[in-house]
Structure 1
Amino acid sequence: MTIKRKLEAVAHKEGKWWEIHIHELDQVTQASKAKDIQDMATDLAAVVLDLDPDEVEVNVTLRAPDEAHKRWVQAREDIEKAQELSAKGAAESRAVVAELSQQFTITEVARMLGISTQRVSQLKAKKPSEA
């Protein structure tokens, strides 16, 4: 048989049960174990649509509890900001080394910045995308 309907569902833990919402059908079912969620969602959709379960495809997304989800989103945002700051810091480090290298020797620049002469050479050699 071919798939006649594709649907999206969201499942979240409610007490001891997983509550499964198929919003497009305005229907809800439950599963006691996560491993049963997909079958329960597919069976619900098939019954409501009067189709064979093989004719229905339900993509189920598990939703984390609200507090955990908020913390996860914040963590991802923090990582993105940190990456942006790291790139900005690397670019500025290269710019400072390049400017100082026009007036001072590698050894002098290294001593001024508290880094090794090898690091000065690396920063001078790197292109902006390599930092």
Structure 2
Amino acid sequence: MEIDQCLLESLPLGQRQRLVKRMRCDQIKAYYEREKALQKQDGYVKKLKHGKKHRVHFNLADMIQDAIICHDDKEVLWLLKDGADPHTHISSGGSLLHLCARYDNVFAAEILIERGVNVNHQDEDFWTSMHVACACDNPDIVLLLLL
């Protein structure tokens, strides 16, 4: 549906909005039809079996990082008990203790220190957990790292 810009601008606001909304719906419908035809052409459409559950599995390192960020202390304990490595490095080269310092998770930091995590480990910017805790204004972590 092509409409001249001058004609569109001359319409009252309510009519213009309804017309533009209908044009957008037509565009979206045409897009989905093209995608569907393209997938059929490539033989890409696969039917899923009914009742089959799909699950995504994450490794323990990713799960413990998420648990630290979300302050899920029970999950942190469970993952460490289940075999997660407390010495895991994060993407910035830091340790899990760096995450605890950034997100002010004192409980997880205390557990990691008890498990022997190096409090002097530096990330790729040569920052220790103490630097991160100070920069993020987390005095409880600073106190824990000093003791």
Global fold match (TM > 0.5): no
TM-score by length of 2: 0.23
Greater per-residue strand proportion: 1
Of structures 1 and 2, the larger Rg is shown by 1
